[in-house]
C-alpha cells in the first residue's frame, strides 16, 4: 500500500523534509540505499562511534533534528527514514509478514552503514524500535537503545489520546496538531515545537498514518537477549506505561529501563539528552566488554 494519498501530497511532504534538513543539518551527508522495501534514505552527521537512529510513526530524519544534533556531538549518527512512513524513503508500506520483511530490510540497511562505520549502536524510537528488533543481532550491532518502544507490549489508547487523535485525523489544523503533540508529550516542552506542529498538520492531508504495531513474537525479541540494551521511557507515556514496559523489557531483553520524569511518549523530542546518555552508557559498556 502506498502511504501517500496523491503524487502532489508526496512531493509536498518530501519537499518539506528536504528543506528542513537543509536548514537544521546543512553539513549532513544524504544518500539513498536500494533495499528490498524500496529506496531508503539515510542522513549522516557527526563523527565518532556509529549510531543508527530509527524514528517513530510519522517521523523521520527531518522531524528528529534536535535528537540527531544532540547525538552527533558524541557519535556519527545515521538517521533512517523508514519505508512506508512519510519522509524521504519509499512510500510503499509492507502489509504482510512484517517481521520477515523488516528483517531483510534492516540487514541491508546495516550492511550499507556498517561498511563505513564499524560496530553500531541502534537507537529505535517507538515504531523504530520494532524495526530494530526485527533485525538480526549480528556482530555489527554492539547495543540497543529503545525509546518509548513499541513491539514489547500492547499499546494502550485511552480516551484522552482518542480525543486528541480523531479530530487531527479527520480535519487536521495546526491547533489540532499542537493538541495531539501536547497530549503525546504529556505537556513537556517539545524541542522544535513549531516545526513539528507544521509537519503534523500536513501529514493527514497527504499520507495515511499507520496504526500502533502489535507486540513482536517472543522468539524475535528473545534473539536480542545477549545484546546490551537500555530502555528510555517517559514517566507519563500513555501508550506504553513504564511499570508494564520495564517488567517486560527486563524479562525478555534483560534490559534496564530509565524512566524520565515529567515526560510522555515523545521523550526523544522533549528530553533528547536522556537518549544521548543511554547511548553513551551503552557505548562504554560495549567498549569495556569487547
Secondary structure, 3-state, the chain: CECECCHHHHHHHHHHHHHHHHHHCCCCEEEEECCCCCCEEEEEECCCCEEEEECCCCCCHHHCHHHHHHHHCCCEEEEECCCCCCCCCCCECCCCCHHHHHHHHHHHHHHHHHHHHCCEEEEEECHHHHHHHHCCCCCCEEEEEEECCCCCCCCCCCHHHHHHHHHHHHCCCHHHHHHHHHHHHCCCCCCCHHHHHHHHHHHHHHECCCCCCCCCCHHHHHCCCCCCEEEEEECCCCCCCHHHHHHHHHHHHCCEEEEECCCCCCHHHHCHHHHHHHHHHHHHHHHHHC
| Mean pLDDT per 10-residue interval, the chain, length 290 residues | 96 98 97 96 96 97 98 97 97 83 92 79 97 91 96 95 96 98 97 97 95 90 96 98 97 97 98 97 67
| 125's grid cell | 524510537
Q: Is residue 98 part of a domain?
A: yes
| 274's grid cell | 536522556
Q: Is residue 181 part of a domain?
A: no
Domain that holds residue 53: 7-157+210-289
Q: Is residue 279 part of a domain?
A: yes
| 280's grid cell | 553513551
Question: Residue 180's pLDDT is what?
Answer: 98
Question: Residue 290's pLDDT is what?
Answer: 47
Q: Is residue 118 part of a domain?
A: yes
Q: Is residue 174 part of a domain?
A: no
- Work out how many domains the chain is built from and give that number: 1
Taking each helix axis as running N to C, give the angle between helix 174-185 and helix 159-170, from 0 to 180 degrees, rounded to the nearest 10.
150
How many CB atoms lie under 10 A from the CB of residue 231? 26
Find residue 147's DSSP bridge partners.
125, 232
Backbone phi, psi, residue 239, to 5°:
-80, -45
Q: What's the distance, Cα to Cα, between the start and end of the chain in Å?
A: 43
Q: Is residue 182 part of a domain?
A: no
Cα–Cα dist 132/112, whole Å: 15
Q: Is residue 86 part of a domain?
A: yes
Residues 169-190 as b/e (b if ≥16 CB within 10 A, e otherwise) read eeebeeebbbbbbbbbbbebeb
CATH of the domain at 96: 3.40.50.1820
Question: Residue 169's pLDDT is what?
Answer: 96
Cα–Cα dist 209/128, whole Å: 15
* The model's pTM: 0.95
Q: Is residue 168 part of a domain?
A: no
Amino acid at each position: 500500500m502506498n502511504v501517500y494519498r496523491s503524487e502532489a501530497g508526496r512531493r509536498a511532504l518530501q519537499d518539506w523534509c528536504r528543506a528542513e534538513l537543509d536548514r537544521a543539518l546543512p553539513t549532513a551527508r544524504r544518500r539513498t540505499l536500494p533495499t528490498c522495501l524500496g529506496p531508503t534514505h539515510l542522513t549522516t552527521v557527526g563523527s565518532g562511534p556509529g549510531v543508527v537512529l530509527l524514528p517513530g510513526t510519522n517521523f523521520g530524519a527531518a522531524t528528529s533534528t534536535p535528537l540527531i544534533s544532540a547525538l552527533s556531538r558524541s557519535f556519527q549518527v545515521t538517521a533512517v527514514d523508514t519505508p512506508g512512513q512519510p519522509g524521504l524513503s519509499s512510500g510503499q508500506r509492507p502489509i504482510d509478514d512484517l517481521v520477515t520483511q523488516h528483517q531483510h530490510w534492516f540487514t541491508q540497511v546495516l550492511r550499507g552503514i556498517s561498511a563505513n562505520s564499524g560496530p553500531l549502536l541502534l537507537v529505535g524510537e517507538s515504531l523504530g524500535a520494532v524495526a530494530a528488533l526485527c533485525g538480526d543481532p549480528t556482530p555489527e550491532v554492539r547495543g540497543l537503545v529503545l525509546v518509548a518502544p513499541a513491539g514489547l507490549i500492547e499499546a494502550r489508547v485511552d480516551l484522552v489520546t482518542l480525543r486528541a487523535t480523531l479530530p487531527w485525523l479527520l480535519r487536521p489544523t495546526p491547533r489540532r496538531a499542537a493538541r495531539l503533540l501536547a497530549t503525546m508529550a504529556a505537556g513537556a516542552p517539545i524541542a522544535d515545537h513549531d516545526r513539528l506542529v507544521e509537519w503534523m498538520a500536513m501529514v493527514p492531508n497527504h499520507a495515511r498514518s499507520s496504526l500502533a504495531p502489535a507486540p513482536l513474537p517472543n522468539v524475535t525479541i528473545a534473539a536480542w537477549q545477549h545484546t546490551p540494551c537500555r530502555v528510555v521511557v517517559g514517566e507519563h507515556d500513555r501508550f506504553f506505561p513504564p511499570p508494564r514496559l520495564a517488567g517486560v523489557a527486563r524479562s525478555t531483553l534483560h534490559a534496564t529501563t530509565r524512566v524520565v520524569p515529567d515526560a510522555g511518549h515523545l521523550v526523544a523530542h522533549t528530553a533528547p539528552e536522556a537518549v544521548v546518555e543511554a547511548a553513551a552508557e551503552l557505548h562504554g559498556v560495549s567498549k569495556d566488554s569487547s
